[in-house]
A and B are shown apart, each in its own frame.
Chain A
Amino acid sequence: MANLLNLLISGLATGAIYALVAIGFTLLWQTSQTINFAQGEFVMMPAFFILAALHAGVPFWLSIIFGVLISLLLLGLVFKKALVDPMLKHGVLPIAIATMALSIGMKESVKEFFTAEAEPFPSLIPAGNVNIFGVEVSLQSIGVLVLAIVAVTALNLLLNRTSVGHQMQAAAQNPTVARIIGVPVERMILYTFLINAGLVALASVLITPIYLAKFSSGEVLGLAAFIAAIVGGFNQVRGAIVGGLLLGVIDNLGAAYISTQYRGAIPLFLLIVVILFRPQGLLGRAEERTV
């Protein structure tokens, strides 16, 4: 029982990180039909921005701020202006392929110019355990979970409780009418790219202490976020949250109770089942956008 609780909490913690990455993924799709196959590498990169600052002797906190700012600039603004904007006119598929190329480029650059080895990464959250109902649970898991919940709640408040959030939704749901009534649609799309950059930077800071910083670490994460988004419902922020959490828990429980060897296969199995029986995802609705 104690073991199960532990597995659940650490599964939820990993799942919350998947959810952060999956939310960004669906946001980009909703506002600009961008399927970002480099999303996993987007999580890998901020850790290396921070490590670069740390190696230059910058204090940890300042390095994090630096890493987040560089992420907003490169993974948000520059990504949109230099890659998405010019490619979007040519359709969804060219963007998807361009992001695949970007993902390879990012991995190889880190391997070439930084290191091919796994680098340790300091944690924001102190090590140790807390006692919950007589069970020792790692502080790391609890901290990750809390920070992810805070981020998702803040994002939800922004999207649903502020006027700029409604503008962003309007821009995503019906850009033609949004333009006519004067919503600055382009700026709203830029905001979602910045939000995505912020989300992946947060995910990076949370997950890298657990899995180490390595050029290839985005592969697993990108796949997990992609599966989480599809399982939850590709066109729903709520769906990405549910998909992420579910995937994290199933992944963890599967590894413990079924087979560690088949750990990597379990999410894919889940993906196949969902696509077969509920292709719009658990919370998704059939796509009403006509492309």
Chain B
Amino acid sequence: MTRVLEVSDLHKSFGGITAVDGVSFHVEQGEILGIIGPNGCGKSTLFNCILGQLKPSRGEVKLDGEVVTGLKPHEINRRGVSRTFQLLQVFPQLSVRENLILAGQEHQGGMLSRLVGPRDAGLGDVAEQMIGFFNLGHLADEMAGGLSYGQQKLLDAAMAFMGGPRLVLLDEPAGGVNLTMLADLKQRLAAINAEQGATFVVIEHNMDFVMSLCTRVLVLAEGRVLAEGTPAEVRADANVIAAYLGH
């Protein structure tokens, strides 16, 4: 198995507050790793450090064995890593289809080629597949800003998969999504994982969602790794029960 992502001894502090305090973990090709932990335990900061949106104070992030610490977000994006957001991040005044096409583009080429080139940048078919896959067919031409919260979450996830990424980091994909939509989302993620061998890291508060979707779970508390193992192992861990599940 190849290690898609390897994080070693990552630290991030803001002023005097240490948000991430020496976290190390790795993700194998095709794996779905869940990251859980109480609010403020450093989950989102960890994501932002991996994706280049924050610069770690110390430590290293490797993609496919190559150090990427300090690269810009779009350079990491170009290496086949994409993300979804805890808070909704779509382009509200563009249609669902246009959002998807934008997310999948290389965004290179000069002004002229972008003026005369095809509007869908050759991604029309891929976007159509993604629309079908996430059951967004009836909404394809709607403005993204007019969709319900759950539908926007689906769109956000679909956007993350547009470039055919190797690694997708999902930040609370289940947050605020109703139960039907949630089952749908989980089933879609499991299917992409099985069919395309895509690798996921999922931050989530919804225990059922994490425990049923993920193959391995990392528990964070106060910026450190508290436990790591299969869902069953983590659930049985005394530290975890005390710190988190016991609440």
Which A residues fall within an 8 A CB radius of B? 158, 161-164, 166-167, 169-170, 173-174, 176-184, 191, 288
Contact = CB atoms under 8 A, between A and B. Distances in A.
Given A166-B94, A167-B107, A176-B89, A182 B114 contact: no
Interface residues of B, number: 31
Contact of B119 (A163, A169, A180): A163
A182 B111 contact: no
8 contacts: A161-B119, A162-B115, A163-B115, A166-B98, A180-B51, A181-B105, A182-B105, A182-B108
A182 B74 contact: yes
B107 A169 contact: no
B103 interface: yes
A180 B102 contact: no
B216 interface: no
A180 B103 CA distance: 9
B168 to A, nearest CB: 13
Given A163-B118, A183-B102, 6 more contacts: A163-B114, A166-B101, A169-B93, A179-B73, A181-B74, A182-B74
B38 interface: no
B43 interface: no
Given A170-B102, A176-B89, A182-B77, A162 B107 contact: no
Residue from A169, A177, A183, A184 with most neighbouring chain B CB atoms (10 Å): A177
A288 B91 contact: no
A163 B105 contact: yes
Contact of A184 (B94, B107, B119): B107
A57 B148 CA distance: 62
A174 B91 contact: yes
A167 B111 CA distance: 11
A162 B94 contact: no
A182 B78 contact: yes
Contacts of A180: 51, 53, 73-74, 77, 83
Contact of A164 (B83, B89, B114): B114
A288 B51 CA distance: 26
Interface string B94-112: 1000100111011110010
B93 A182 contact: no
Residue from A164, A178, A179 with most neighbouring chain B CB atoms (10 Å): A164
Interface string B61-94: 0000000000001100110000101000111111
Contacts of B107: 167, 181-184
Residue from A162, A169, A181 with most neighbouring chain B CB atoms (10 Å): A181
Nearest to B74: A182
A173 B93 CA distance: 7
B54 to A, nearest CB: 13
B241 interface: no
Given A162-B114, A169-B91, A181 B77 contact: yes
Contacts of B192: none
A117 to B, nearest CB: 41
B181 interface: no
Contacts of A158: 115
A190 to B, nearest CB: 11
Given A180-B83, A182-B105, A164 B90 contact: no
